[in-house]
Every structure is written in C-alpha cells, then in structure tokens.
Structure 1
Amino acid sequence: MNYRKYVLLGFLFGLLVLIRFFENELFYDPYLAFFQNDYLYIDSPRRELAKLTWFASLRYMMNTVISLAIIYVFFKDKSMVKFSVLIYSVSFVVLMGLFLYFVINPRQEDYYIFFNIRRFIIQPLLLLLLLPAFYYHKNGGQSYKMMN
C-alpha cells in the first residue's frame, strides 16, 4: 500500500514540475522574461490584462488541484483537504487582488513585492507551507505533548 502511495505522490509532484518546466509553452506571462532580467531598472512589459489574468488564474488552479490531491494522498484526511480549499480560496482572492493592483499600477519601487506576490500565484508555495503544518498538526503535536 505504501508503494502505491509513494508512486502516486511522485506522479503528482511530477505534474507540478511539468507545469513549471513547460510554463513558457502553456501560459501567457510576459513577466517570466521580465523577472529573469534586471527588472529593478527597466519598465514593466506590455501585457494584455484579461489574458494575463486568465492564465495566472489557470496556473493557480492547476497547481491548487494537484496540491490538494497531494495533501489528500499524503494524509488521507478530508478535513485537511477542506481546510486547504478554504486557505487556497482566500489566498486566491487576496493574491489576485494584489497581483492586479501591481499589474495595473506598475512602479519600479514595487517590483520586488510584485515579484513575490506573483510567485505565490504561479508556484505551489502554499503546498510547501501546508504540508509541514499539517504533518506537525497530525504527528508533531503528539510528540511535543509526550516530551512535556
């Protein structure tokens, strides 16, 4: 049974890697090249707002669905998945609001914070925060109580 679990987790993490690897082919994002250059000293790239918003949302949703599957396979706990859906939903609203603000109002002094907000949208960073938190909640809290 554990073997199947690890193969499935490997497959799901592989999907996340493929999304990242093929990001230029799959998604419209003029900020990919922008942030690879010396972005603190150049003007914001030209962009199509609706198209950029759609592809950023699509990428967030793809990463979210795969991340939720990873959380479920790892813990087999539907309550953790439900809580994660809430976290991902609230995060999407907040992050997309901030993302759109920085896209519509580009200022060089805001590029660094925009870079980091965009990173949370296009990469599965919430998964990296939730997995250890849930692991600690499920296992670590018990061993901490036993130590005291």
Structure 2
Amino acid sequence: MNKWLRYFLAAVLIFGLILVRKYETELFYDPFLLYFKTDFYSGKFPDYDLGKLILNHLFRYFLNLLLSVWIVGLIFWRKDYVKYTILIGVGFLIIFLPLYLFFLETQFSLGVNYGFYVRRFLIQPVLLLLLIPAFFYHQQKTKEI
C-alpha cells in the first residue's frame, strides 16, 4: 500500500478517536464524566450501575484499542508492532481495570487523582500516545545498527 495512503487512513482513524471523545456522553454510560468535570474533591460521589459501567468502559477501551492497533499498523506497516500493541493493550486492561474497580468500590479513598488517572488509561487512547514514539524510536535505533 502506498505510504501516503496509509498516512491518510491513519489520519482518518485518528479523527475517529476524536469523534469517540467528542460524543462520549452520547455513546457511553459514565456518570463519572460529569463528576470529574466539576469540583470532584468536594462533590458528592455519584451513584452508578457497576455492570453497565464496566461494559461501557470495556466497549470504549476495545474501540480505542482497535483504532490504535489500526493506526500503528498503518503508520509503521509492521506486524510485530501490531502484535505488541495488542499485547500491551490487553496487559494495560488486565492491570488497570481491577485497579479502577478497587478505586470505585472504595470511592477513591486512596485519592481522587489516582482514580482519575487510572480511569483515563481506560477511557482514553493514552496507550497510542506512548507507543507511537516508542516504536518510532525503536525503528530509528534499529536502522543505525
């Protein structure tokens, strides 16, 4: 596939990530969106449906991961980078989802910021922001050898 076509398609997928963020209130159940947009230090902890919240977070996480995997694949055109993106994405989910559930059940008793940032890893494509520079650096270093 032509390099410029791949970059164009990656840009379209990045726009898809932007749309997921823009329409998050319409697409996903998340009572913590408003909670974290207000003064959450002194605000009331919101009521939530745990099952519905988990399903919506999982759906959003896998949607972001799918778009991220396609973006990495289009930018670098390497199967090993795609595999690493999937493995790291699943690893992040295994680590951060139980941690987030613990924070929810304790109403962020260890600190609201911890819950905020763990949640951010689950609902935003932070992984993509970490992996693209890492893969680019790896690609540059392997060219030098």
Could you say whether these structures have the same fold, taking a TM-score greater than 0.5 normalized by the shorter chain as the test? yes
Cα offset, 1:36, TM superposition: 0.3
Identity %: 35
Deviations 1:87-132 (A, max 9, x none): 0011001110111101111045521110000001000001000000
Structure 1 unaligned segments of length 5 or more: list them. Answer: none
Q: What is the aligned length?
A: 144
Deviations 1:54-98 (A, max 9, x none): 001110000000000000000111011111111001100111011
Partner of 1:35: 36
Structure 1 contact 29–52 (Cα < 8 Å) conserved? yes
Moved over 4 A (4+): none
Q: Give the TM-score taking structure 2 as reference length.
A: 0.94
Structure 2 contact 10–71 (Cα < 8 Å) conserved? yes
Residue type at the aligned position of 1:95: F
Residue type at the aligned position of 2:107: P
Partner of 1:45: 46
Residue type at the aligned position of 1:10: A
Cα offset, 1:28, TM superposition: 0.2
- Superposition RMSD on alpha carbons, in Å? 1.3
- 1:25 and 1:109 map into 2 onto residues whose CA distance is 30
- 1:141 and 1:108 map into 2 onto residues whose CA distance is 45
Partner of 1:131: 132
SS at the partner of 1:12?
A: helix
Cα offset, 1:42, TM superposition: 1.8
Partner of 1:78: 79
Structure 2 contact 103–110 (Cα < 8 Å) conserved? no
Partner of 2:90: 89
Cα offset, 1:41, TM superposition: 1.2
Partner of 2:5: 4
Residue type at the aligned position of 1:42: G
Cα offset, 1:140, TM superposition: 4.1
- 2:101 and 2:110 map into 1 onto residues whose CA distance is 16
Structure 2 unaligned segments of length 5 or more: list them. Answer: none
- 1:2 and 1:134 map into 2 onto residues whose CA distance is 17
